[in-house]
Chain A
């Protein structure tokens, strides 16, 4: 979707950053384990909760970097 100005499109290399929080939570071999525990939470629970932070970070960066001025 390019436009005459070029700067109004939705395309940006930064958008590739959105892939990480989509893929990570869908790979159970990364987190399907009890150990190591963190504050008593098995890996399964604390790592998936930690992926929320990955999602927030990636979407925030993409938003800031692709904001139209």
Chain B
């Protein structure tokens, strides 16, 4: 019947296998009860180096990345390779920042970045803005994971939306039951499969192509030489270097502001686990760099996408180059690769809603069990929302939203990342900066068109400096410009708020809290509440005295 039958069988078997693992995960490192966010939403805050490596790696390097980055190289060449410098610079940048966030969160029992902002700046309003930004930025990201699965299904000749709905229903069910333990356990399988597939791909595919690696790059060069588009090529040109660098830097700054990355980090056992992972996670960057080059291999092999969907390039390449059963394994790796981040993202978005909207505004006396219950239900709703996005909106629209997501999540950098180092900013200034940065970012994205596709708005993140009145053809990443606007306004706003004596919020954190580690004797002096697992009066007190005059 179907020429892809072997692929479909292998894919389905592996998919069902990991789904079973997802349900069993609730028993893994079994706690007395999953009825708290520390357990359901952060896996007991007890993951060691290996689990964290698989979890965070599976979380950051998503199925969409594995499909979209090679598609970008296939279409435009060198500019798509920004993913490599991006995932190199991110780790040294956050190396010291994340351990501070981990420590202060450990001491105060923070589950989300907005929890930290609330306590640090004594401003539920600022925390609400950070929470909403996180939720809005995460939603389209989850929808994009579905795009990854869809590309694989299309290549197997499976059409219609029913398979995706079934896949997400299974995902929703085991995330509901097992919380963060499910993606943590599944990540082992996902990453092992991905590593095997890519190792085989980079050895087997060039061997089958004429001229090996050298021939692959030459074929790409020939394709871009023949294309009329000005920005493509296997090297950068004078006008897109600034974009390349600012996009890499901006994406790196944004990565660990995403709630799902922070969820992965807060689930680790101690500071050493995080630091070791900052050295070990670049293994995935190497993988990503090699995956990116699949785009050029596809050019050399003369692969054409299905219809106009460039995301089918990699699945099509596998289909051509691998025996059917191994293509099935490769497809399963991509499909399962979508499940891990989708689960973590929905948990992170649900935690933000629960902690910073539900508990803050709807039910201030919510118990731990209430929080866990609300988060579980919200995680379901988030996934339903993502599926609806795919069913009723154009896929291109999800990609637009994801683009916007990166720009808006950057606007939380002053409150979250700089807040870990300094309390100099005034909460009023930070709010003003957020508003200005958001406005500037939206305005720029709205004005980015693409003459080739005829799209007038939201056609990319490369903002032409020409539009700022500069006499150049260079482009820059809109997110970085928006962040600069944000910082300038935040500084001015802080100076104005100070000089007009607008009330400061209270800071519930102490310098020592940013250095605390697991099993540290000093921790006893602190209001250390996490390991007891019980709702603690100290923690409530903290939140109590943090809620001074509200901005």
Q: How far is A37 from B245 in the complex, measured between Cα atoms in Å?
A: 22
Query: Is the CB of B244 closer than 8 A to any CB of chain A?
Result: yes
- CB-defined contacts of A49 to chain B, threshold 8 Å: 84, 286, 289
Find the A residue at minimum CB distance from B246.
A26
- CB-defined contacts of A1 to chain B, threshold 8 Å: 511, 514-515
- CB-defined contacts of B244 to chain A, threshold 8 Å: 28
Name the contact of B81 in the complex, choosing from A48, A52, A63 (C-beta under 8 A): A48
- CB-defined contacts of A67 to chain B, threshold 8 Å: 272
- CB-defined contacts of B84 to chain A, threshold 8 Å: 25, 48-49, 51-52
Describe A's contact surface by its main secondary structure: helix
- CB-defined contacts of A68 to chain B, threshold 8 Å: 517
Contact (Cβ within 8 A) B217 A42: yes
B215-254 CB mask vs A (1 if < 8 Å, else 0) is 1110000000000000000111000010011001100000
Contact (Cβ within 8 A) B85 A3: no
Write the nearest CB–CB distance from A3 to chain B, whole angstroms. Answer: 6
- CB-defined contacts of A26 to chain B, threshold 8 Å: 85, 89, 245, 248-249
Contact (Cβ within 8 A) B92 A18: yes
Find the A residue at minimum CB distance from B271.
A68
Find the B residue at minimum CB distance from A58.
B92
Contact (Cβ within 8 A) A52 B241: no
Contact (Cβ within 8 A) A34 B92: no
Contact (Cβ within 8 A) A25 B92: no
- CB-defined contacts of A32 to chain B, threshold 8 Å: 235-236, 241
Query: Is the CB of B540 closer than 8 A to any CB of chain A?
Result: no
Q: How many residues of B are in contact with the other chain, CB < 8 A?
A: 46
Query: Is the CB of B322 closer than 8 A to any CB of chain A?
Result: no
Q: How far is A42 from B219 in the complex, measured between Cα atoms in Å?
A: 13
- CB-defined contacts of B85 to chain A, threshold 8 Å: 25-26, 48, 51
Write the nearest CB–CB distance from B224 to chain A, whole angstroms. Answer: 12
- CB-defined contacts of A22 to chain B, threshold 8 Å: 89, 92-93
Find the B residue at minimum CB distance from A49.
B289
- CB-defined contacts of B213 to chain A, threshold 8 Å: 39-41
Name the contact of B279 in the complex, choosing from A9, A10, A45, A59 (C-beta under 8 A): A59
Of A21, A67, A68, most buried by chain B (CB within 10 Å of CB) is A21
Q: How far is A68 from B270 in the complex, measured between Cα atoms in Å?
A: 12
Contacts A18-B95, A44-B78, A52-B286; is A28 near B214 (CB within 8 Å)?
no
Q: How far is A40 from B202 in the complex, measured between Cα atoms in Å?
A: 13
- CB-defined contacts of A28 to chain B, threshold 8 Å: 236, 241, 244-245
Name the contact of A40 in the complex, choosing from B91, B216, B245, B514 (C-beta under 8 A): B216
Name the contact of A8 in the complex, choosing from B88, B91, B100, B515 (C-beta under 8 A): B515
Of B100, B216, B241, B275, most buried by chain A (CB within 10 Å of CB) is B275
Contact (Cβ within 8 A) A25 B89: yes
Contact (Cβ within 8 A) A40 B212: yes
Find the A residue at minimum CB distance from B514.
A1
Write the nearest CB–CB distance from B466 to chain A, whole angstroms. Answer: 20
- CB-defined contacts of B548 to chain A, threshold 8 Å: none
Contact (Cβ within 8 A) A10 B289: no
Contact (Cβ within 8 A) A62 B511: no
Which parts of A13-29 form the interface with B (CB within 8 Å)? 15, 18-22, 25-28
Find the B residue at minimum CB distance from A15.
B96
- CB-defined contacts of A20 to chain B, threshold 8 Å: 92
- CB-defined contacts of B89 to chain A, threshold 8 Å: 21-22, 25-26, 55
Write the nearest CB–CB distance from B519 to chain A, whole angstroms. Answer: 11
- CB-defined contacts of A41 to chain B, threshold 8 Å: 213, 217
Of B93, B278, B283, most buried by chain A (CB within 10 Å of CB) is B278
- CB-defined contacts of A58 to chain B, threshold 8 Å: 92
Contact (Cβ within 8 A) B512 A34: no
Write the nearest CB–CB distance from A17 to chain B, whole angstroms. Answer: 8
Query: Is the CB of B26 closer than 8 A to any CB of chain A?
Result: no
Contact (Cβ within 8 A) B235 A44: yes
Contact (Cβ within 8 A) A25 B248: yes
Contact (Cβ within 8 A) B234 A34: yes
Write the nearest CB–CB distance from B384 to chain A, whole angstroms. Answer: 39
Contact (Cβ within 8 A) A10 B99: yes
Query: Is the CB of B438 closer than 8 A to any CB of chain A?
Result: no
- CB-defined contacts of A63 to chain B, threshold 8 Å: 272, 275-276, 278-279
- CB-defined contacts of A18 to chain B, threshold 8 Å: 92-93, 95-96
14 contacts between A and B (CB under 8 A): A1-B515, A10-B96, A18-B92, A18-B96, A22-B89, A25-B89, A26-B85, A26-B89, A32-B236, A42-B217, A44-B78, A56-B280, A56-B282, A63-B276
16 more contacts with CB within 8 A, not counting A1-B511, A63-B276, A63-B279, are: A3-B512, A21-B92, A22-B93, A26-B245, A28-B241, A28-B244, A32-B236, A32-B241, A40-B217, A44-B235, A52-B84, A52-B285, A56-B282, A60-B279, A62-B275, A67-B272
What is B's interface to A at a CB cutoff of 8 Å? Answer: 78, 81, 84-85, 88-89, 91-93, 95-96, 99-100, 211-217, 234-236, 241, 244-245, 248-249, 272, 275-276, 278-280, 282-283, 285-286, 289, 293, 511-512, 514-515, 517, 522
- The 8 A-B residue pairs whose C-beta atoms are closest, nearest first, are A40-B214, A40-B213, A25-B85, A18-B92, A59-B279, A60-B279, A28-B241, A63-B275
